[in-house]
Structure 1
Amino acid sequence: MSRLAYQYVVLRCVPRVDREEFVNVGVVLYCQATDFLDVAWQVDRERLRAFDPTLDLDQVCEALGFVEGVCAGDRRGGAAAEKPLGQRFGFLKAPRSTVLQPGPVHGGVTHDPARQLEHLMEKLVG
């Protein structure tokens, strides 16, 4: 098996931007060599409520559903979902000042991008 280069970003929920606190809620992984772009996510509602009891958790989940749509290339992702995979990843990794923000871009090598996504989720989100 060959080693495949990939890039990923951790998705962070920032309940109160003014406090600069965040909780990791997902990972987006892109592997150009295999045309792989996917997201895995998990929202710990109790933990996020501890940061801000007024946070609209359904809206956070909807935003993560949008990311799923962009990765899958389906209607949930709007116009961004119609772009080539590399552009979609570029859209998803772009900095934002919203409640759902991507962290810095990281990279690595793997034999299996889907399994690597699972591993990163376990390690970085929990």
Structure 2
Amino acid sequence: AEIFGDLKLMEKEATGLERIKQKVSEHGLPTPKIEVGEKTFKITLYNRKKDPQKLLNSPYRTLRDTTGLNERQAKFLQGLQQQKNKSVNRGEYMQLFNLHEKTATRDLNDLVNRGLMQKKGVKKGTRYTYNIMSVNVR
């Protein structure tokens, strides 16, 4: 193991499993189940659905401000939360509400600034994705 560690192909100290346990705990998630076999190991990671309140204490969550959203933004977020595909581009948003380009851009940038959406891509390839790691603040 030492030679692989020197080559930066693996750790010398075998601290990976402990770091995994530490990180999931920091995120407020349940401790993973670790099963070690003769030549394999299996790690089961649990999501926050088991205890959603623990997510509130995670230092990695983002507080998002939903006060003062305009009617379009509120309606858009409600619909987006119920869809499988939780992203949109500016053209789709414009078409949805019959908006001018500047108004759509202003609405979407406001949602990004509030932590409700994440902006990915550039220019015409930009998509706005619903930010699931956030908590409403009213």
More strand by share: 1
Larger Rg: 2
Pairwise TM-score range, normalised by the shorter structure: under 0.3
TM-score by length of 2: 0.26
More helix by share: 1
TM-score by length of 1: 0.27
Q: Which has the higher contact order (CA 8 A, sep 6+)?
A: 1
